[in-house]
Amino acid sequence: MKSASAPSITFWLIAIILLLWGIAGASIYVAYFLETPQEFALTAETAANRDAYAEYIANIPLWAIAVGIVAAVARLLGAIALLFRSAWALPFYLASLPFFLMALYRAFALADVAKIMSIGHIATEVVFFLLSVFAVWFAYKSKTNGTLK
């Protein structure tokens, strides 16, 4: 077993950014239960698309919300594991990715949400996907170089 090497400033900065992203992602699912679809749409979408987006939110099936929650919680746990320099970060991020992909597939392929989302909102989803892939890679590299134990 490798001994854990001292993490760089870059490691800590990335881990903090991934934690903030994890908190933001989890807060979206908290909002599903605390806000009405109209309130949720106010913060998530442009004025031109708010009514259609609120209707979309109101009709998300429970299974799809559950899939998103699993992805968000696993992502948050991955970030926390990074901060503790735990090798558990990798399995948490690996578990998060397929659930996030299922949520994206449901939203974009099955529900065709892209037709009611602003380009900025779609870009945010793309960035979230790229961050998900990056988090898996970063946890893997951190584990293989001995930063995670």
Domain span at 60 = 9-143
Q: pLDDT band for position 40 (50/70/90)?
A: confident
Mean pLDDT of 94-108: 97
Q: Residue 50: inside a domain, yes or no?
A: yes
Q: What would the mean pLDDT of 52-74 be, rounded to a whole number?
A: 95
Phi, psi angles (nearest 5°) of residue 111: -100, -10
Looking at the structure of the chain, the number of domains it has is: 1
- The predicted structure's pLDDT at residue 1: 45
Asked if residue 19 belongs to a domain, the reply is yes
Within a domain: 114:
yes
Helix (H) or strand (E) holding 18: helix 9-34
Distances (CA, A) of 12 to 2, 31, 97, 138: 20, 28, 22, 12
